Amino acid sequence: MCGIFGKVGSLRERDMHVATEMLCHRGPDGQVHKTYAHNVHFFHARLSIVDIEGGTQPMDDEDLAIIFNGEIYNHQELRTKFGLTGRTRSDTETVLLMYKQLGLDMLSHMDGMFAIALFDKKQGKVFLLRDRAGKKPLYIGVADDGIYFGSEQNLLQKIMRPSIHLPSIAEYLQTGMVYGENTPYKDIYELQPGHRISIDIENLSLSEQQQWWSIGPYYEQVLELQEQEALALLDEKLKIAVKRRVESSDLEVGCFLSGGIDSGIMAAMASVLKPNLRTFTVKFQNEYDESVVAKQVAKFLNTNHQELEVSYDKLANDFESIVSAYGEPFMDDSQIPSYYVAREAKKHVTVIINGDGGDELFGGYRRYVPFAHSFFRNSVVKGASKAVAPFLPAPASKMNMYNYLYRLVKLSSRNDFEQYLSASTDVLFDYKSDYKVQPESSFQSLVERNFSKDISGLRKIMLTDFQGILPYILLKKIDISSMQSSLEGRSPFLSKEIMEFAPSLSDDLKIRGGTTKYLLRKLASQYLPAGNEKLPKKGFEVPIINLVDKDLNPLLKDYLNSSDCLYKEVIDPKLVQRLMNGTLDISKDKRAKILFSLLTMEIWYRNQKQV
């Protein structure tokens, strides 16, 4: 786990100072810069985890050079399978050896998270490669004097000073994310998950992004498996994924242990491989607390357990730095607890296993249930919902049955893109007439493309979540929040084998009746204390209404009442004023989420102007 930066073209000395300063938190154990040919510059900031002595980067091998952020968990298996021998035990060298034998076809064999820059001197090309799910970030900047690339937008922004791309900002306010290769900036692009791109070092040209892996085809096939057969296969594949992620480290590996089944299964499997496994549970003062259930599971598994107590007491002082680290507007309020949890965990370990990806691959969200039962395809229900929806008052709270029924009616009255956003990340979608700038349509195109496929409603929404929310919100949050504290997070559910297995499982193994994550709950019953498999899903429950109205309110007023707010260029300012004074007919929870999204956007905007 590291940070990378590079350029094909002329490089200023100042650029290297900026890279060293801004990537140090990703790679505190060493920073090295090398130049190849006449204009290929590679910089690597290292967090040493595998082959601490021999894994220094940039790494050379005859006509190849590489910088690499991430881990290839099966790299020792690949050395054995393909008869590869090297001078180090590093997975970085394994990538070079694999490329020499297979070229870019090596990607299909690699299980890991990675953002790679590989220079093939014979071809005169630098290849940029990104992992399947998009765990490790990689951004590309196009300038007159060359092409930059790096692990963070903040780094490229400080070097290039690009202008803002307002349609991307409008898309963020509409959907809660900036999707695809777009970023909030002109001339800076994101290499999409499962994609690769090449740079010709002579003419400084950039190829089109090419997709080398997609989860889509796996959702378009159905494995005809009996429940016990599917359960046995899942157990086998998860054990392999956990084993690789525990053993592929020269440092101690710990495990997050919440009250949920995803992290519980991970901890159970890891504890078999590593007796006295260190497990950690977060306990927020006066708020989110899953420590009682987690302690019960830890005792059952006989792990070395520790509660991480976290307080929001200093949030007002920390919030701007938490938000600014993302290098773009970021609407997920769980970025707050994620930052504090990573900070506390880093005091004890450098590598942590988590349960990320379990919900998206196995059907863990309550909003999946109506999609699984074709509720929204019923013409009678849809017609009645369209007639009733405009007259329903907004719910006062999200924690009641009326809110659930209200959302069902609203969802049923809509189609495809509107329906998907209403079920997931909707920020300001309902206020189309208030936009001054037309939003980018890249995410809308994805939703409409997926929802037009001849697959079930459940598969449509799960596929879209995997390609949208997972990489562009959830995994981005995990990467930034953990790397702010130089902590590496490993996610067995996002292994190659699981991502190519879970989508093809029949729908009733994911959602059965009103039960979410059916097959995973069956597996949990084999590993966790009796009854734990029945516990409902819990995420980080952020007291968002209280934060917006109290703790963060001074910041909110400062930023949103500023004379040079970015939102004034994108939407009607009167809408924001109605949100702030509480006169908009909207639930308290949604109002708070919208204001939070606007606040993070304005903090990012002011910060990038001052850099």
pLDDT of residue 132: 98
- Single out the residue in 211, 226, 246 at which a domain terminates: 211
Sort residue 204 into left (φ over 0), alpha (ψ -120 to 50) or beta.
Answer: left
As a whole number of angstroms, the distance between CA 331 and CA 335 comes to 9
Q: Sort strands 146-150 and 40-46 into parallel, antiparallel or unpaired.
A: unpaired
pLDDT of residue 400: 66
Same domain as 168, residue 74: yes
What is the identity of the amino acid at 125?
A: K
288 has a pLDDT exceeding 70: no
23 vs 287 pLDDT, higher one: 23
User: 359 with 518: CB under 8 angstroms?
Assistant: no
Q: Would you place residue 29 in the very low, low, confident or very high pLDDT band (cuts 50, 70, 90)?
A: confident
Same domain as 150, residue 87: yes
33 has a pLDDT exceeding 70: yes
Q: Would you place residue 510 in the very low, low, confident or very high pLDDT band (cuts 50, 70, 90)?
A: very high
Is 608 within a domain?
yes
404 has a pLDDT exceeding 70: no
pLDDT of residue 254: 95
User: How do residues 268-277 score in pLDDT, each as one tens digit?
Assistant: 999 999 999 9
Same domain as 277, residue 233: yes
User: How do residues 455-488 score in pLDDT, each as one tens digit?
Assistant: 999 999 999 999 999 999 999 999 999 999 999 9
Same domain as 586, residue 483: no
User: 542 with 336: CB under 8 angstroms?
Assistant: yes
Determine the average pLDDT of the residues in 379-396. 66
Least confident stretch, 221-235, 386-400, 404-418, 556-570: 386-400
User: How do residues 39-48 score in pLDDT, each as one tens digit?
Assistant: 999 999 987 7
pLDDT of residue 323: 95
Least confident stretch, 308-312, 352-356, 485-489: 308-312
Please compute Rg for the chain using Cα positions: 24
| Helical residues (DSSP H) of 5-136, grouped into ranges | 13-23, 75-82, 91-102
pLDDT of residue 399: 59
**What is the pLDDT of the chain when averaged over all its residues?**
91
Measured between its terminal Cα atoms, the distance across the chain in Å is 26
Is 85 within a domain?
yes
- The structure's pTM equals 0.94
Is 446 within a domain?
no
Q: Would you place residue 538 in the very low, low, confident or very high pLDDT band (cuts 50, 70, 90)?
A: low
Determine the average pLDDT of the residues in 100-106. 97
Q: Which are the contacts of 158, defined by CB distance < 8 A and separation ≥ 6?
A: 18, 22, 611
Same domain as 266, residue 174: no
Same domain as 112, residue 125: yes
Determine the average pLDDT of the residues in 351-362. 95
- Single out the residue in 487, 505, 534 at which a domain terminates: 534
Determine the average pLDDT of the residues in 84-88. 92
398 has a pLDDT exceeding 70: no
pLDDT of residue 390: 66
Is 277 within a domain?
yes
**Among 90-94, 246-250, 588-592, the range of highest mean pLDDT:** 90-94
Same domain as 341, residue 234: yes
Three-state DSSP state, 141: strand
Same domain as 299, residue 221: yes
Cα angle value 211/438/597 (rounded, 5°): 80
CATH number at residue 260: 3.40.50.620
Number of domains in the chain: 3
Q: Output the DSSP codes for 443-511.
A: HHHHHHHHHTSSS-HHHHHHHHHHHTHIIIIIHHHHHHHHHTTT-EEE-GGGSHHHHTTGGGS-GGGT-
Structure token digits, residue 25: 């938190």
Is 424 within a domain?
no
Is 356 within a domain?
yes
Same domain as 224, residue 136: no
Is 63 within a domain?
yes
Q: Would you place residue 425 in the very low, low, confident or very high pLDDT band (cuts 50, 70, 90)?
A: confident
Is 418 within a domain?
no
Same domain as 224, residue 78: no
CATH number at residue 104: 3.60.20.10
pLDDT of residue 24: 87
Same domain as 36, residue 113: yes
- Single out the residue in 171, 193, 211 at which a domain terminates: 211
Determine the average pLDDT of the residues in 323-335. 95
Same domain as 550, residue 523: no
Structure token digits, residue 240: 């392999």
1 vs 564 pLDDT, higher one: 564
Q: Would you place residue 537 in the very low, low, confident or very high pLDDT band (cuts 50, 70, 90)?
A: low
Q: How far is CA 122 from CA 34, 97, 325, 585, in A?
A: 18, 16, 38, 63
Q: Which are the contacts of 231, defined by CB distance < 8 A and separation ≥ 6?
A: 519, 522, 523
Q: How far is CA 449 from CA 29, 179, 455, in A?
A: 44, 15, 12
Backbone phi, psi, residue 38, to 5°: -115, -10
Backbone phi, psi, residue 187, to 5°: 75, 5
535 vs 318 pLDDT, higher one: 318
Least confident stretch, 37-41, 154-158, 555-559, 586-590: 586-590
Task: Show the domain range for 590.
Answer: 543-611
User: How do residues 117-164 score in pLDDT, each as one tens digit?
Assistant: 999 999 999 999 999 999 999 999 999 999 999 999 999 999 999 999
User: How do residues 445-457 score in pLDDT, each as one tens digit?
Assistant: 999 999 999 999 9
Indicate if the alpha-carbon torsion angle 277, 269, 492, 71 is positive or negative: positive
The one-character DSSP state at 314 is T
